Every structure is written in C-alpha cells, then in structure tokens.
C-alpha cells in the first residue's frame, strides 16, 4: 500500500519551511518514525518522520525547496516492495540532486545522528564509522566530529613546514570567492537586528562589577553543589537571579511596546543567548523567580545541549521578557548588545579580568567584569536604566542580597 508523506503541521506563527536535507532516496528502506528529511523554519530544524515502515518510492520535492504544511514530500510503499516499482531518481525532475551526498553508512544507522552532525559529516565527506562518539550508546556529537577533524588536520602538518597560505602564494594559487545564500535563521537574525535598529530608540549604559564574592561562593560550594544537584554551579544563575531582583524593582525594564501601549509582564522569562552552528539563538528559561539556582543551571545546560544538537523547539525560543548575552566566553571586554524585539532591554556580560581597583583607599587586584545594558529609551528613562544596572551590581557584589531579596 502506498502512503503519502507530507509536511507536518508547522509551529504557530511559522508559515513555511525549507527542505534542507533528504536522508533517504528512492529505493531506501525506512522504519516507522525514522527521520527521512530535515525542514528548516525561521528558528528551528524539524524532522519529518516516516509514518510507517517500508520503502521510499518517489521524492516529490527538491533539496532547498520552500514548502508549507500539508505539501506532499514523498511516496512510501509500506512493507516489502519490488525494486521494479521504484521510481528512478532521474525520472523525477533531477531528484538525484535531492539525495544526500552519500548513502547512510552502517555506522550512521547504528545510532541516530542529529541534523547538525549529519550536515557536518557531509560537508567534510566523512563516514560516521570513523568518528568515535562520546555520547550515550556511542552517539556522535558535533564536538566529536570537530575533534576528529582537528586531530587529523594536525597529523597532516609537519613541524617546520610552511603554512598553507605561504604555500598557496608560492605556487601562485588564484584568488577566489565563494557566494552562498543565507540560511533562513541567519536571514531572520539579520532582519530582526535591522528591525531593532529602526524601531527602538536604543541606548547603552555601562557599569562594572567586582565578582570576588561570587567567585568565592562558587569555589567553596561547587563540589557539594554538583554532588547534590547533578549540575555544575556556573555564573549565569547568579546573573539571572540578580536580573530578576532588579526587574522587580524596575518593572518597565521587563515591559515591551505594542503599538502605543506599554505591556508590563508580571512574570520573568529570561532569554539566554547561545551560539550554535546555525547562528545565535535565544532560548528562554521560564519563571526564573520561582526557580532555585540548581534549576536555573539545569535549564540553561539543557537548552545549550538542544542548541548544539539542533533539537531546539519553537516553544524554547519564544516568549522571553528580558535577555542576557555573555560575550565574555569568547573573550569580549566590552560591547553594546542589540535588543531582542519585542523586549525592551538586554544585559551584556563580558570577560572577567584581574584589574587594579581602589577599595577603602587602597589599590587591590580584583576579578572585574564590565556590564552593559542596552535599553529602549522610548519607555525606559536613563535614571531607571542606570539604577537597574546598579541593582545588579549590588546583588553580585553582595550575593546575600539574592537570598534575602533586598
């Protein structure tokens, strides 16, 4: 019996998607619920599961095509099927172009690969069987592939050899360019950044914070914290909690503009900006005011994993009221973050550096971080923005305030 495989229902507010990769070709057998294709929306990659076990007869959509919910993607013959019934790739308007770069290897079928890992393997023409997976049951992660590439790149370079650039110049390699289309996510990011510049009156205020006490607490309790809660104690939970206390004091910083109205939110859903292979994502930790430090750290760790393996859902990325971004993990000393519409403020964290500062009339060396608050001056006055940042500074320099909520 032939079965039609169609585009599944797309997330709310998403009108279409791009078919970015087929994982099966005509003639391939599939198991029920096995992923046969990846669809990229504005923010997430969706998998298309096989509705039943059988054999792919025909692919109806080319790689890179734009589709909407309900569009026909492929024809599946349930159960066993004779090879003669299979539509040859050449007979389906160059469907051969739709097939993956290479057939799935036995190593790939042994453990499911995320879309991000699969694309990375195909980009570098790697067989999954030669990469050692560090995940559960030997599952391969993006970091496993990158480690493999780095180790084999290092093996191919002999100490004292000239650099590839120098070699290229010596033998007269021609200069070249490569033009590639933006991914849907990168295009959305670009449009949202321009939108923020055009619609909000953005202004940034700065301060610095002495993290001596936070680092002391973290050092003192990191081992018992990990043993008790099963998650590492990082800096982000301190910042998220400090942000919530400041938002309670200055509700307008937690608000947004809709037409000529100011919408005040009486909940605290904090977006945590994370970098992924597909671009910047801002997954949201819900109700941070009600969460413990351990729950905040667990939520952030879980969302970070989703961003890296490409399993982020639309729900994970929508509804935030305030955003925190940490350029310090990349070495940034100072920056002016851009608003994440429709939010009205964003906090930028930066690199922690040992710097000389004056304390009680004496110069001492302390772990200092610059903080930046970009805010929408249409509804947030400079006084409120400065005091909001001062509140965060006070909470971090005296973490007891977070416990007592003062």
3-state secondary structure string across 204-220: EEEEEEECHHHHHHHHH
**DSSP 8-state class, residue 69:** T
Per-residue pLDDT band for 95 (boundaries 50, 70, 90) equals: very low
Highest mean pLDDT among 19-23, 84-88, 208-212, 273-277: 208-212
| pLDDT of 256 over the 90 cut | yes
Lowest-confidence region among 40-54, 90-104, 108-122: 90-104
Q: Read off the pLDDT of each residue in 359-367 and give the average, rounded to a whole number.
A: 95
Joined tokens for residue 74: 């492929």
Domains 1-100 and 201-404 in one fold? no
Which of these CATH numbers, 4.10.320.10, 3.90.79.10, 3.30.460.80, 3.40.50.300, describes 108-156?
Answer: 4.10.320.10
| pLDDT of 112 over the 70 cut | no
Give the separation between CA 72 and CA 301, rounded to whole angstroms. 37
Closest CA to 28 of 83, 84, 94, 96: 83
Instruction: Identify whether 16 is a catalytic site residue.
Output: no
Number of alpha carbons in the 13 Å side-chain half-sphere of residue 165: 0
| pLDDT attached to residue 190 | 82
**In the chain, pLDDT over 70 holds for what percent of residues?**
83
Q: Read off the pLDDT of each residue in 102-125 and give the average, rounded to a whole number.
A: 61
Q: Read off the pLDDT of each residue in 121-138 and give the average, rounded to a whole number.
A: 75
| pLDDT attached to residue 106 | 42
User: In DSSP terms, which residues pair with 281 in a beta bridge?
Assistant: 274
CA 342 to chain centre: 19
CA 132 to chain centre: 24
| pLDDT of 363 over the 90 cut | yes
Q: Read off the pLDDT of each residue in 248-262 and give the average, rounded to a whole number.
A: 95
* Residues 26-56 pLDDT 10s: 988 998 888 888 888 766 778 888 888 999 9
Q: Where are the alpha helices (DSSP H) in 230-381?
A: 236-249, 293-309, 314-317
**DSSP 8-state class, residue 79:** S
CA 39 to chain centre: 17
Lowest-confidence region among 36-45, 144-153, 301-310, 330-339: 144-153
CATH superfamily of 201-404: Chloramphenicol acetyltransferase-like domain (3.30.559.10)
| pLDDT attached to residue 188 | 75
| pLDDT of 371 over the 80 cut | yes
Give the separation between CA 34 and CA 98, rounded to whole angstroms. 18
Domain ranges for the chain? 1-100, 108-156, 201-404
Give the separation between CA 128 and CA 105, rounded to whole angstroms. 7
Closest CA to 185 of 14, 382, 399: 14
- At the second CATH level, the architecture of 1-100 is Beta Barrel (2.40)
What is the pLDDT of the chain when averaged over all its residues? 83
Per-residue pLDDT band for 216 (boundaries 50, 70, 90) equals: very high
Instruction: Identify whether 152 is a catalytic site residue.
Output: no
Tell the residue number behind the tokens 């057998």, with chain if given: 29
* Active-site hit among 127, 161, 287, 381: 381
* Active-site hit among 63, 229, 377, 398: 377
* Residues 132-171 pLDDT 10s: 776 656 778 777 777 777 777 655 544 555 555 554 554 5
Contact 19, 64 (CB under 8 A): yes
Query: Which of residues 213 and 135 earns the better pLDDT score?
Result: 213
**In the chain, pLDDT over 90 holds for what percent of residues?**
42
| pLDDT attached to residue 94 | 39
| pLDDT attached to residue 135 | 66
């Amino acid at each position: 019996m032939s079965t039609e495989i169609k585009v599944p229902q797309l997330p709310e507010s998403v009108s279409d998607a791009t078919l970015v990769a087929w994982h099966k070709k005509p003639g391939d057998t599939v198991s029920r619920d096995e992923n046969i294709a990846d669809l990229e929306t504005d923010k997430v990659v969706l998998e298309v599961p096989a509705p039943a076990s059988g054999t792919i007869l025909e692919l109806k959509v080319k790689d890179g095509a734009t589709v909407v919910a309900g569009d026909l993607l492929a024809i599946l013959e349930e159960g066993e099927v004779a090879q003669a019934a299979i539509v040859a790739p050449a007979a389906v308007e160059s469907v051969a172009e739709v097939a993956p770069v290479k057939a799935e290897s036995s190593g790939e079928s042994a453990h499911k690969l995320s879309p991000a890992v699969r694309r990375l393997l195909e980009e570098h023409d790697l067989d999954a069987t030669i990469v050692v997976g560090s995940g559960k049951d030997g599952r391969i992660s993006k970091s496993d592939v990158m480690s493999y590439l780095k180790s084999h790149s290092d093996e191919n370079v002999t100490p004292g050899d000239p650099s590839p650039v120098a070699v290229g110049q010596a033998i007269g390699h021609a200069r070249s360019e490569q033009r590639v289309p933006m991914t849907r996510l990168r295009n959305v990011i670009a449009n949202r950044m321009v939108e923020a510049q055009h619609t909000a009156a953005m202004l940034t205020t700065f301060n610095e914070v002495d993290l001596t006490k936070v680092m002391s607490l973290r050092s003192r309790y990191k081992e018992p914290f990990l043993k008790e809660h099963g998650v590492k104690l990082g800096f982000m939970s301190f910042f998220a909690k400090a942000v919530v206390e400041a938002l309670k004091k200055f509700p307008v910083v937690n608000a947004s503009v809709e037409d000529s109205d100011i919408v005040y939110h009486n909940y605290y859903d904090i977006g945590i900006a994370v970098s992924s292979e597909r671009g910047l994502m801002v997954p949201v930790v819900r109700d941070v005011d009600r969460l413990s430090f351990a729950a905040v750290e667990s939520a952030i760790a879980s969302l970070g994993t989703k961003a890296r393996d490409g399993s982020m859902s639309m729900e994970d990325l929508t509804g935030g009221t305030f955003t925190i971004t940490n350029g310090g993990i990349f070495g940034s000393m100072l920056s002016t973050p851009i608003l994440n519409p429709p939010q009205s403020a964003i906090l930028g964290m930066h690199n922690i550096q040992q710097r000389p500062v004056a304390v009680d009339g004496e110069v001492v060396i302390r772990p200092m971080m610059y903080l930046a608050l970009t805010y929408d001056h249409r509804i947030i006055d400079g006084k409120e923005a400065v005091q909001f940042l001062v509140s965060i500074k006070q909470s971090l320099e005296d973490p007891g305030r977070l416990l007592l909520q003062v």
